[in-house]
Homo-oligomer: A and B are copies of this chain.
Amino acid sequence: MQQGGSSYPSCSSTSDCFSLTHLSAAQCGSENLSEPEKSEVRANNTSTELSRMRSLVMFYLSYLLCVCLGLSCVICVYVWNSQWLGGFSWDGSFLQFNWHPVLMVTGLVVVYGIAAVMYRIPLTWGQNKLPWKLLHAVLMLIALVLSVVGLCAVFDYHNAKNIPNVYSLHSWIGIVATALFAMQWAFGATAFLLPCSPLSLRKLLKPVHVWFGGSVVFLSIAACISGINEKLFFDLKENTTGSQHYRELPPEAVLGNALGVLIVAFGLVVLMILSNHKWQRPDSRTGDLAYAPLLQEENE
């Protein structure tokens, strides 16, 4: 059942539930309150406003950190594969393999993560939801295409070298992450973009969609860490021409490890943004396509 004056779908702690304090006062009819009660309501409203501003600032700082970490991951994986590992090609050689880490990190981790937290940007809340839904779907499709091309790169390389596919734990987790992502995209587009899908079904499926989205982040990052670790052990062996062993931590090893740390930090920031219910886009009373922003609502 919708609450009286507005809809604030979620709160994660007593202090997060400020909006509901406000709603209860409105529901009970604040015009019937005594003077001390009215000043208490005014004090609560000021405290609520401060809490919201603090929440906004914290969100934008976290979002900035998320974007910076994402860009660092892409730069780092590109520099590693282009400068240390010889660059790129699509000829069945190890240069084709180099597309795999670049495309998986860019698609399955960074573009995916940025698209996942897109709805949390408060600037978008005052606008019609449909263009943002389409942008979310398009960004996710770009992430999915990059991931699938990244998988094709490694499958082609393995086939050219007669190496079996999908035997390592890294590949099992990576394949599950990509398959779950593809299902999540198809399921999301059907449930949330098709006009024939009923609003009640969307409301029911939304938490499931968000939770599976977080699971893909979890799986893709576990796959990336195991993949980078495996790649560094493969490439940095003793007795290969001019290269140091991984255990001596040459610059390439430090770069690869740093990439892993950046990916984990990016994943943690994405999951923190997704799990903070204060930062969720508030549902609207007017349906699924239009939303009233949190701050605008108070001024109207």
Q: Which residues of A does B touch, CB under 8 Å?
A: 1-4, 7, 9-17, 20-21, 23-24, 27-28, 44, 163-164, 167-170, 172-173, 176, 203, 206-207, 211, 214-215, 218-219, 221-223, 225-226, 228-230, 232-233, 246-249, 253, 256-257, 260-261, 264, 267-268, 271-272, 275, 277, 283
Complex: A173 Cα to B267 Cα, angstroms: 13
Contact indicator B1/A44 (Cβ below 8 Å)? yes
Residues of B within 8 A of A225 (CB): 169-170, 173, 222-223, 225-226
**Could you tell me the distance between the alpha carbons of A246 and B28 in the complex, rounded to whole angstroms?**
68
A27, A206, A218 interface centre (most CB from chain B within 10 Å): A218
A176 partner residues in chain B, CB cutoff 8 A: 261
Question: Are B233 and A168 neighbours in the complex by a CB distance under 8 Å?
Answer: yes
Residues on the B chain within 8 Å of A9, using CB: 12-14, 17
**A-B contacts, 22 listed (Cβ < 8 Å):** A3-B24, A4-B24, A7-B14, A10-B17, A11-B11, A12-B12, A13-B203, A14-B203, A20-B20, A23-B24, A24-B27, A28-B28, A167-B246, A167-B249, A168-B229, A169-B228, A169-B260, A173-B264, A214-B275, A223-B225, A225-B225, A229-B230
Given A167-B249, A221-B222, A230-B229, A14 contacting B173 (CB threshold 8 A) = no
Residues on B with C-beta less than 8 A from A24 are 3-4, 23-24, 27
When chains A and B are docked, how far (Å) is the Cα of A215 from the Cα of B204? 27
Decide if the interface of chain A is mainly helix, strand, loop or mixed. Answer: helix
Q: How far is the CA of A40 from the CA of B21 in the complex (A)?
A: 22
- Chain B residues positioned under 8 Å from A21 (CB to CB): 1, 3
A10 — which chain B residues lie within 8 A by C-beta? 11-13, 16-17, 277
CB-CB < 8 A to A226: which residues of B? 170, 222, 225-226, 229-230
- Given the known interface contacts A167-B246, A169-B228, A172-B257, the answer about A3 and B28 at a Cβ–Cβ threshold of 8 Å is no
- Residues of the B chain whose Cβ atoms lie less than 8 Å from the Cβ of A214: 271, 275
Report the bound CA distance from A260 to B227 in whole Å: 14
CB pair B1 A246 closer than 8 Å: no
A243 to B214, CA, bound (A): 38
CA distance A42 to B7 in the complex (A): 22
